[in-house]
Structure 1
């Protein structure tokens, strides 16, 4: 199954039984995908492995990695801006509620005719 991150010209074409040396020096053997169109015994090809010698997909191409990094950065910036705006709105909503509560208390202190009680008007 081809890796979606590979460029169209570098698709994996077949699986072969390959032998390779792991980073710890041990010899490994197993079926691996290869970009060779018509693999023959003894042919060599690039094989990417992890630190334990297990085959893994090749690293991203520099342009693909750059695109992923840029998109992740834009996403992080938008998420940060959204969180800042949400916190700002929450604080503002709380302050407005406090102001309305203060106004309600002030109206209650003034009485039903806004301070004219007992003035003879």
Structure 2
């Protein structure tokens, strides 16, 4: 029989002791608390999965809306981007900043504004930027892979957070029970010592 099976059987015998068991009330409480914490951890799994699923559905709708409202245009830099920075430890350091640029909208309107240009970009170079319906630069739309990753990370993160809180609560409870048991044992020991001294 494996160690985990032995632990489960021992815990079960502690919760439901047989006749003549040496399990104390605090031992039974601790075992019952562990079962309760395990059940809460299992219950938190579908709740976290449901929240992750709701996030996926919501962000999928946002993604579809963003894709329909945003488009890519070619922007020409009107100024140099940031200089290439070299670090003796890390080598070339990635660097970017807002730089003046001009671009044409689908209707032929020319727009001038700030776009994010990477290091080493020079005036006159062309780069692709995302714009909204008004022609203002925006972040790229949320894509399918990003939607899935966000939903999974959120759901898993919530479940792991719940597990951490439950584990912390259980450990604090066990710590308190251990102190109670030690105080009780110490009291009984001193009581027996006192009886021996008197006799």
TM-score by length of 1: 0.54
Which of 128, 148, 155 aligns to 1:34? It is 128
Cα-to-partner distance string for 1:66-118 (whole Å, 9 max, x where unaligned): 22221221122112201211111111111111111011012111216x65852
| Larger gyration radius, structure 1 or structure 2 | 1
Q: How many correspondences in the alignment?
A: 88
Q: In structure 2, the residue corresponding to 1:58 is in which secondary structure?
A: coil
CA distance in 2, matches of 1:13, 1:48: 10
Q: In structure 1, the residue corresponding to 2:183 is in which secondary structure?
A: helix
Structure number having the greater helix percentage: 2
C-alpha contact 1:13 1:34 (8 A) present in aligned 2: yes
CA distance in 1, matches of 2:140, 2:132: 6
| Structure 1: 4+ residue segments shifted above 4 A | 114-117
CA distance in 1, matches of 2:73, 2:112: 19
Q: Does 1:15 align with 2:75?
A: yes
C-alpha contact 1:15 1:34 (8 A) present in aligned 2: yes
C-alpha contact 2:104 2:111 (8 A) present in aligned 1: yes
Cα-to-partner distance string for 1:4-30 (whole Å, 9 max, x where unaligned): xxxxxxxx895331266xxxxxx9632
Structure number having the greater strand percentage: 2
C-alpha contact 2:73 2:103 (8 A) present in aligned 1: no
TM-score by length of 2: 0.35
Which of 174, 177, 189 aligns to 1:95? It is 177
The unaligned stretches of length 5 or more in structure 1 are 1-11, 21-26, 36-45
CA distance in 1, matches of 2:175, 2:196: 30
Structure 1 equivalent of residue 161 of structure 2: 79
C-alpha contact 1:15 1:31 (8 A) present in aligned 2: no
- Answer 1 or 2: higher relative contact order, Cα 8 Å, separation at least 6: 2
Q: Does 1:64 align with 2:124?
A: no
User: Cα distance 1:54–1:102, how it changes in 2: closer, same or farther (>3 A)?
Assistant: farther
